[in-house]
A and B are shown apart, each in its own frame.
Chain A
Amino acid sequence: MAKTSLQILIVDDNPEDRDLYKRLLLSLNGKYEYRFLEAELGEDGLAVCRAEYPDCILLDYYLPDLDGLEFLTALEGENGILSAPTIMLTGSGSETLVAEAMRAGAVDYIPKSRLSRNSLERAVANAIDKHRLQVAIEKHRLDLEQTNQELRRRNEEIQNFYHILSHELKTPLTAIREFVSIVLDGLAGPVSAEQRDYLQIAKDSCNQITLGLNDLLDATRLETGKLHISLCPVSITQVVSEAVAVMLPATQAKEIRLQQVIALALPDVWIDARRISQVLANLLSNALKFTPKGGEIEVKVSHEPQRPAWIRVSVSDTGRGIEPERCEYVFDRLYQVRSDDVAIEGGLGLGLYICQEIVRLHGGEIWVDSTPDIGSTFSFTVPTHSTDAPPTDERKGLLA
């Protein structure tokens, strides 16, 4: 088998020492074939490194112009991790020197007093293997970094595309919805009751498309960390009452009783009211979707037990409930309810994921308690104080 050829740079001001290292390495009949480069001074050694790229450097600690540490620092400054592996040699070995040399980037250290054929070749072989591994790791790291950057760039592109898509779809959608509304409102002549029903269906469908497009944009912004909230002190009673009032006509149409139970004298909460309204609207419309005619939906606001600085908001329904094994997945992005249930419309599978992320941006938690065929309760917490605190883990344990 052909021997691997190695180029060794010896930086030592003592010519006898240089000859000794060469003799020791050449006297072995190992797996390497050696070629030597020599320098008496540190600066000369650095110049050789720039021109020749040695595979390994044997470095005397005490040089006339630089000491070993200065040499290593200069070498690493020029080449970083890719600089040749260096083995430090010195006449007066001390623990401090070893530590300093290794910190400065030397891969090994041999006191000249313990120099032997075997110790030198082992050190050179180890240094080279270690260096190759380091270079390979570094290359992988750079590859990963590049891949990561590329993925980020593509993510940006996708996000921009979604924005354009949303804009381009919403413009004609606005026209459709508005002309349907204009006819519905009687501005184009009398409308029969039957026509009114049909037009209302068309208008509601437009609203569904709008919600879907907005969810799509929110989800991409959440993934790229670009959805920001701005917290202000707000009355949670007001936020909940408004969300309930908006939902009331739809629940009445389905003969569902919608009621709110709000604890007295609640403090203000620090929330992004628009975003928490979005969470409530989402939970309420889910409750409406899954609750049969004649059922009940209750929105409850109370102090969070054991946690005085938090308020809990719950939306309970008497719907079909969620099987225990599915509860942990309902907040997953793109999670869909069972597709074999034809009675339930699909949806993008983004709603609860967005709710979860919005609540987490507030530092709160969201979870579900559910019994199949009895109903579900979705609850989340919001802070009564301005906080940058990260979400706590206690509730995650229940979800996991």
Chain B
Amino acid sequence: MKQKILIVEDDKNIVKALTIRLKAKGYEVAVAQDAVMAASVAMKQPPDLVLLDISLPGGNGFVVAERLQNAVLTAGVRMIFLTASKQPGLREKAMAFGAVDFFEKPYEAEDLLAAIHIALAAPLGSLPPMGSQEQSL
């Protein structure tokens, strides 16, 4: 069965680019373009992994992350944050919200796909905490 990835991202072009990459790797893709939709799409069909933008209409990536972690159906879902923001502390915050990885835009697709692959290959709950090998800014 195909593994399902939910893209939570408000920029249509980036959604399109991510979708092309993920489908080429054989993943099933769902999309939500704001924080409210993100939760409802995830509840209907729980994804295996969520790619989360931080700046979103109707909330932000952290609000979505919290909602997903608190809902029974999506608790423990693997999350990778993806942001164009350089505000200090975002990486640490993402880690505190249970992210398995954190990427800045523009991202290197090869690295992002590798991180997704690693995250999905590991059994739930067995992933090392993000940041254990990386220094924060």
Chain A interface residues toward B at CB < 8 A = 163, 166-167, 170-175, 177-179, 181-182, 185, 187, 206-207, 210, 214, 217, 221, 226, 228, 230, 232, 272-275
Partner of B106, one of A170, A217, A226: A170
B88 within 8 Å of A (CB atoms): yes
CB distance from A241 to the nearest CB of B (A): 16
CA distance A187 to B113 in the complex (A): 14
B72 within 8 Å of A (CB atoms): no
Cβ contacts under 8 Å, B86 to chain A: 163, 166-167, 214, 217
B137 within 8 Å of A (CB atoms): yes
Would B14 and A178 count as touching, CB distance under 8 A? yes
CB distance from B133 to the nearest CB of A (A): 10
| Chain B, residue nearest A216 (CB) | B86
Could you say which of B17-25, B30-38, B42-50, B61-69 contacts chain A?
Answer: B17-25
Would A274 and B137 count as touching, CB distance under 8 A? yes
B1-29, CB under 8 A of A: which get 1 and which 0? 00000000001011001101100100000
Chain B interface residues toward A at CB < 8 A = 11, 13-14, 17-18, 20-21, 24, 55, 84-88, 105-107, 109, 134-137
Would A182 and B21 count as touching, CB distance under 8 A? yes
A-B interface, 4 closest residue pairs, ranked by CB to CB distance from nearest: A175-B13, A178-B17, A170-B84, A174-B105
Would B21 and A175 count as touching, CB distance under 8 A? no
Majority SS of interface residues in chain B? loop
Cβ contacts under 8 Å, A217 to chain B: 86
Cβ contacts under 8 Å, B11 to chain A: 171, 174-175
CA distance A273 to B18 in the complex (A): 30
Q: A182-B17, A274-B135 are in contact. Are A174 and B24 (CB under 8 A)?
A: no
Would A232 and B135 count as touching, CB distance under 8 A? yes
Partner of B135, one of A175, A228, A272: A272
15 other contacts beyond A171-B84, A178-B106, with CB at 8 A cut-off? A163-B87, A166-B84, A167-B84, A171-B105, A175-B17, A182-B21, A182-B109, A185-B109, A206-B106, A217-B86, A226-B88, A232-B135, A274-B134, A274-B135, A274-B136
CA distance A230 to B92 in the complex (A): 12
Cβ contacts under 8 Å, B85 to chain A: 163, 167
Cβ contacts under 8 Å, A232 to chain B: 135
CA distance A89 to B11 in the complex (A): 79
CB distance from B89 to the nearest CB of A (A): 10
| Chain A, residue nearest B84 (CB) | A170
Would A172 and B88 count as touching, CB distance under 8 A? no
| Chain B, residue nearest A160 (CB) | B87
Would B106 and A172 count as touching, CB distance under 8 A? no
**Most chain-A Cβ atoms within 10 A of its Cβ — which of B21, B84, B136?**
B84
Partner of B14, one of A163, A174, A275: A174
CA distance A230 to B137 in the complex (A): 8
Cβ contacts under 8 Å, B105 to chain A: 170-171, 173-174
Cβ contacts under 8 Å, A177 to chain B: 106
Would A182 and B107 count as touching, CB distance under 8 A? no
> 16 A-B pairs, CB-CB below 8 angstroms?
A166-B84, A166-B86, A173-B106, A174-B106, A175-B17, A177-B106, A178-B17, A182-B109, A187-B21, A187-B24, A206-B106, A217-B86, A221-B88, A230-B136, A274-B135, A274-B136
CB distance from B25 to the nearest CB of A (A): 10
| Chain B, residue nearest A172 (CB) | B13
Cβ contacts under 8 Å, B18 to chain A: 178
Cβ contacts under 8 Å, A272 to chain B: 135
Cβ contacts under 8 Å, A166 to chain B: 84, 86
CB distance from A172 to the nearest CB of B (A): 7
Partner of A174, one of B55, B88, B107: B107
CB distance from B2 to the nearest CB of A (A): 18
| Chain B, residue nearest A218 (CB) | B86
CB distance from A182 to the nearest CB of B (A): 6
Q: A187-B20, A272-B135, A274-B136 are in contact. Are A178 and B109 (CB under 8 A)?
A: yes
Cβ contacts under 8 Å, A274 to chain B: 134-137
CA distance A174 to B82 in the complex (A): 11
Q: A182-B20, A210-B106 are in contact. Are A171 and B14 (CB under 8 A)?
A: yes
